[in-house]
Amino acid sequence: MSQLGANSGQAQIRVMSWVLLFVPFFFTFLAYVLDMGRRVAGLPSWLGVAKVGLVVVAVYCLAAPFFMERVIARSAERLRGRGHDPDQSKALVCLGGSVGPSAFAMLLVMAGAPAALVYTWAPVSLVSAAYWGWRYRHVLVSMGERAA
């Protein structure tokens, strides 16, 4: 892989990682806007099942990065052989997984659930994203230095 291509890929991963840190804020704003435009109506009949599904998805999204870290670490040599940095991959997977709870809650809000679901799960996603961002801060900061 050429040096220009590697720098471009590193910059894209860095941008995606930083964007993922702010997605919960965007979902909170979007849920607020969607909720403002709704007429007062009864809650959807599927809401109880959806809340259980949301908890299951949230637990999966918050726990999976811990397992994926190990999977990526085991295949580190293969990733390096393809020109990828395993730490960058781990940072992207972990930050992406942390957005899952608020993303699924936002999907339910778009389907008619109350915006309170996003207000509840966005802080959970934000704390998780902050944890993974702090844990991989060396990757997020060093990617900018390498790309320069």
Task: Give the start-to-end residue ranges of the domains of the chain.
Answer: 3-147
Confidence class for position 5, pLDDT limits 50, 70, 90: very low
Closest CA to 125 of 107, 101, 89: 101
Query: How big is the chain by its Cα radius of gyration, in Å?
Result: 18
Confidence class for position 142, pLDDT limits 50, 70, 90: low
Kindly report the pTM of this predicted structure: 0.79
For the ranges 26-30, 89-93, 121-125, the lowest mean pLDDT is seen at: 89-93
CA distance 62 to 69: 12
